[in-house]
Structure 1
Amino acid sequence: MRTVEDVRPRAERRPALRVVALLLALVCAALGAAGLATADRGVERHSTMVAGVPLEVVRPAGATGRLPGVVVAHGLAASRQLMRGFADTLARRGYAVELVDLAGHGASTARLPGAGDGLAADARLDRDLDVAVGHLRSMPWVDAARIGLLGHSMGAAAVLRYATAHPEISATVSISQGPTSSTGSAARPRNLLLLAGGLEFAGFRDGALEALRAAYPRGRAGVTYGDPRAGTARRAVVVPGVEHVGVLFHPRTHREVATWFDGTLGASSGGPHGAGLRPVWRAGSAMLLHLAAVLSFGAIAAAVLRPVASGRERRRVPLPLALGVPAGAVLAAVPVMAVVPRGLLPLAVAAPVAGFFGVIGVVLLGTALLTGRTGVSRDGRSSVVAAVVLVALTVVSFAVPAQLGWAHAVPVGPRAWALLPIAACATAFFGGVEALCGGYGRRAAILIHAWIAGGALAGLGVAALVGAASSFVLLVAPLLAGLLVWQGVQAAALRAVRAPVWLTAVVGGALLAWPIAVTMPII
């Protein structure tokens, strides 16, 4: 005979854990908020829109005289927020820094042809850089004769191309640009620093060395060649232990960038506010706020959706099905990515990725229905109210810290309506996951959730490797992995209060869909 203690939800049996989580959440929230509040100390920011290109100019607070300028360009599926660390570093050393949202990204509503590939895309990116450079040069406190460029990934290829065509650009920093078609001239572009992460795909590391050796055939990483005064300086550096995004936040990257521009643009090292490097200050503070949201979710869910004291027992999907069907669903979803029209949604890779998750969700939901799994009775009105609160909390928990710290997170242009079909597919996916987890104990449900999430990530990798999806999927896989883990924590908290499957699905759908809709480039 089972006691009341046996049937009571585990979350009710462990109030101490919830208190500890809330205390940790408060600490993380306080540290994150303090970090973001002080991130702009010593610098001034001004955002504007010029010829349809969103720009943000950062300079040392109270600076006098004419400053050297640097235009910073982000990579594919990023925005100027991801590159703010370079503005923080350089502005404190005496530079005027202009961050740009390239076409299809961030606050820009312009279409990026070919999702960044092809001559039309090159022309559009060149045009946006031309607008940014022209605007920075027009500032009365900027020395128009000392302008540099910095770019990452797609932005790196763009600044390389632009600087090669515009010899008036004094120095260029290219981070993770991949293979290049360099002419082999040491003077075009002038004073080139090439960086790549040690954990990046080989093409990115090789691209940096190839660009160096195009001008200096015997060039080695970590050695500077040429003369900065003549514009022929070249240097390639592989930053150890970081991948495609992590390279942007490594102190070695920022030291190399600051030293390179100091030597080629002639800024006064240290600037009026010192030369302290703070590459992760802003993004790290935002991550602390994300962590605070994850830690506090369980307590908030319990407050708005109190545990059910009794209800119908959940019939479990047999374990072989709970583990085997997801594997089959992933295999079935991989070829779907190849047949979903890339232009079905106005966002790069969004339609195939959404279709992938949607197919898996439909298969999992169908399995649960065929096995006759039942749910838990609950007052419908309270569930709807809780769903509204928890979805809003989830979106705000992602969007606000991201917008302040590392990514543009406000839907603009066609992103707003594209969010709906993406959310529908993501909701189906998490509904299927939760349906298979229903009826299992806490640990078993967590393992099933992790099994399905890991299988989905593996399926995306297979799809990219066999050509069913763009290889760009591999670069956004870390973001998707983080979101799946985030929802795994939220789903466990909702199971503890016996939330209905549809509520957990809707919350997870919002969490996965929002970042995809606001980060994938408009095409």
Structure 2
Amino acid sequence: METKEDVGPRRRTAETDRPPAFFTPLRGVALLISLVSAAVGAVGLATADQGIERSSAVVAGVPVEVVRPTETTGRLPGVVVAHGLAASMQLMRGFADTLARRGYAVELVDLAGGGANTERLPDAGDGPAADARLARDLDVAVRHLRSMPWVDGERIGLLGHSMGAAAVVRYATAHPAIRATVTVSQGLMPVGSVSRPRDLLLLAGGLEFPGYREGAVDALRAAYPGGQTGVTYGDPRAGTARRAVLVGGVEHVSVLFSPRTHREVAAWFDTSFGRSTAGGHGVGIRPVQRAGSAMLLHLAAVLSFGAIASALLGRPSGSGRDRRRLPLPLALGVPAVAVLTAVAAMAVIPRRLLPLAVAGPLAGFFGVIGIVTLAVALFIRRADAGNSEVRNGGGRSWPVTAVAAVTLVLLTVASFAVPAQLGWAHAVPVGPRPWALIAVAACAAAFFGGVEALCAGYDRLAATMIHAWTAAGALAGLGVAVLLGTAPSFVLLVAPLLAALLVWQAVQAAALRTLRAPVWLTAVLGGVLLAWPIAVTMPIG
């Protein structure tokens, strides 16, 4: 007599019964690229300070870093560099590297809400209270730089990006002693008269949103009607110089690492400070050494994850899929419904759910998708319980899995945080960030747990496609939420970071599926990977 289990389709093939291959030519190539990337990245970071020296301090509650040439003669002109929203001084270090090698003293500053600064940024950087706080932090940095005995206090300039660009324009307009100002992606805003602020260079990426490109051109034409990009107007000696440049082929973040951006910045300060021949046209231009080296270390971590995970978890025992798969229409349809539900939920998720601007809505969005996906998948599988196979986590003991889990979590954190801290972003949680990190990680883990529930039972290629479909749908849903006004528009600017993190997690998830690791491990690792950057970069607000 046949039982229900006997007649249930097993869907096994020779491929699914065969143990996964752990040492393949493709894995060998990945490991080789990983080793080369790690070596080149490490050397790049180790040599990034050649010819310059850095010192850090906290002045009146404001974290600053002063960078100057190792061989200083006489009093140097100074430049204070300000970052944008959801950024830190690390993202702006390329400008300090460029200018210091050309004979400048540069002070990087973590403005309120960003980086190592634990002070709250009012109203997510938008409004009079935020303007006043940013002006106060800039004033602290300018006064500190002027107090250095080897700095020429009469030759001080400002450079800012995005929110920081708007802040330096306001500050320089109110303080005529600022000799020159450079804005990168300041957006649409009034910028004073022909002589306020003095000697203003306006930069924007050619691939940025129209408001940023138009902001640079409009600011030029406010002083010189009919002004054209790429042309300098006015007299630097009189402080009336204006120039707008659209840097081709770059967007809101990559504009900071364009060689042309750095050449324009260096030439502008040289001319404004009477140093038109300082160092030559291309001397000292190293816009990508730190960030590029950090990215190589990130790449090494991604490519080596599979080998490290297999060494920790070992070969799985048993064969076949560990769970009956959902029908493909459901595996593709459930995430679409979940994303639409999350878009609708954005209208009611409080924007200040967490003490970090933007982080609360993002966490809620991914959490809703995860909850809906998990609920539907578990309901369907419960209804089909008679045909489901028992999951055994690859036949591993709990101690082995637990040790591997802790090690992989620490590795995931280190592979993001260490290169980021050294190269492009402050990555150490401060202030309220640690407990916010836990909340964001829980929501992100629910999202990735839901993705794995959809992928369970499918072969490698199909699971990868379902994973990509769900991740792409989530990013598209965030775009829709912004268009509907239920999500902050700033989400669009961090979308490239989110996309990169989702790709990183997809590689980890594919490796863990091959190893038949338990779903909860994939979810936890993914939650930590997505949550850490959000919790440490979104401004405290």
Question: TM-score with structure 1 length normalisation?
Answer: 0.97
Q: Aligned equivalents of 1:230 and 1:374: distance in 2?
A: 80
How far does residue 340 in structure 1 lie from its aligned partner after superposition?
1.2
Counterpart pick for 1:391 among 405, 409, 421 = 409
Q: How far off its partner does 1:2 sit?
A: 7.4
Shift of 1:307: 2.6
- Could you tell me how far apart the structure 2 residues matched to 1:208 and 1:419 are? 36
Structure 2 distance, partners of 1:101, 1:3, is 57
Q: Report what 1:193 is aligned to.
A: 201
Q: Which residue of 2 aligns with 1:376?
A: 391
Indicate yes or no: 2:17 matched with 1:10.
no
Q: Which amino acid aligns with 2:128?
A: L
Distance in 1, matches of 2:390 and 2:86, equals 39
Quote the residue 2:247 is aligned against. 239
Residues 431-460 of structure 1, C-alpha deviations (whole Å, 9 max, x = no match)? 000111011011101100000000000000
State the Cα deviation string for residues 355-380 of structure 1 (Å, max 9, x = none).
Answer: 00000001111122112265630322
Deviation string 1:15-54 (CA, Å, 9 cap, x unpaired) is: 3222221111110000000000000000000000000000
After TM superposition, give the deviation of residue 308 of structure 1 in Å.
Answer: 1.6
8 Å contact from structure 2 (residues 370, 447) kept in 1: yes
Partner of 1:19: 28
- In 1, the alpha carbon distance for the partners of 2:524 and 2:350 equals 25
- CA 102–9 in structure 1, closer or farther in 2 if over 3 Å, else same: farther
Q: 1:468-517, CA deviations, whole angstroms, 9 ceiling, x for partnerless residues?
A: 01000000000000000000000001011011110000000000000000
Query: Per-residue displacement from partner, 1:72-103 (whole Å, max 9, x unpaired)?
Result: 00000000000000000000000000000000
Separation in 1, partners of 2:351, 2:18:
48
1:227 maps to 2:245: no
User: What are the equivalent positions in structure 2 for 1:28-177 lying under 5 Å apart?
Assistant: 28-177=37-186
Per the alignment, residue 337 of structure 1 pairs with 346
Q: Give the Cα separation in 2 of the matches to 1:455 and 1:239.
A: 31
- What secondary structure is seen at the aligned counterpart in 2 of 1:338? coil
RMSD after superposition = 1.6
- Stretch of structure 1 that moved more, 336-345 or 418-427: 336-345
| 1:283 aligned onto 2:291 | yes
3-state SS in 2 of match to 1:209: helix
Who wins on radius of gyration, i.e. which is larger?
2
1:168-200 per-position Cα deviation (integer Å, ceiling 9, x unaligned): 0000000000001233x1100000000000000
Equivalent in the alignment of 1:348: 357
Equivalents in 2 of 1:469, 1:390: separation in Å?
33
Counterpart in 2 of 1:413? Answer: 431
Alignment partners' CA distance in 2, 1:354 and 1:313: 30
Confirm or deny: 8 A CA contact 2:99 2:284 kept in the other structure. Answer: no
Q: What displacement does 1:293 show?
A: 0.2
Q: For the structure 1 residues 38 and 386, does the alpha-carbon distance in structure 2 shift closer, same or farther, using more than 3 Å as the test?
A: same
The separation in 1 between residues aligned to 2:18 and 2:301, in whole angstroms, is 26
For 2:315 and 2:278, locate their aligned partners in 1 and report how far apart those are by CA, in whole Å. 57
Query: Given the alignment, which residue of 496, 504, 516 partners 1:478?
Result: 496
Please give the alpha-carbon distance, in whole angstroms, between the structure 1 residues aligned to 2:52 and 2:157: 19
Q: What displacement does 1:381 show? A: 2.3
Q: Would you say 1:464 and 2:474 are equivalent positions?
A: no
Q: In the aligned structure 2, how far is the partner of 1:236 from the partner of 1:280?
A: 23
Relative to structure 1, the CA distance from residue 375 to residue 323 in structure 2 (aligned partners, 3 Å threshold; closer, same or farther) is farther
Equivalence for 1:451: 469
Structure 1: any 5+ residue segments left out of the alignment? none
Gaps of 5+ in 2: 1-10, 382-387
Give 1:301 deviation, angstroms.
0.6
Amino acid across the alignment from 1:32: G
Q: Distance in 1 between matches of 2:361 and 2:15?
A: 47
In structure 2, the CA distance between the partners of 1:375 and 1:251, relative to structure 1 (3 Å rule), is: farther
3-state secondary structure, aligned to 1:174: strand
Residue 322 of structure 2 contacts residue 456 of structure 2 at CA under 8 Å; is this kept in 1? Answer: no
Q: Residue 63 of structure 1 aligns to a residue in which SS?
A: coil
* Cα distance in structure 1, aligned partners of 2:218 and 2:358: 29
CA contact (8 A) 2:232 2:241 kept: yes
Q: CA deviation at 1:342?
A: 1.4
How many residue pairs get aligned? The number is 521
Distance verdict in 2 for CA 1:44–1:274, change over 3 Å:
farther
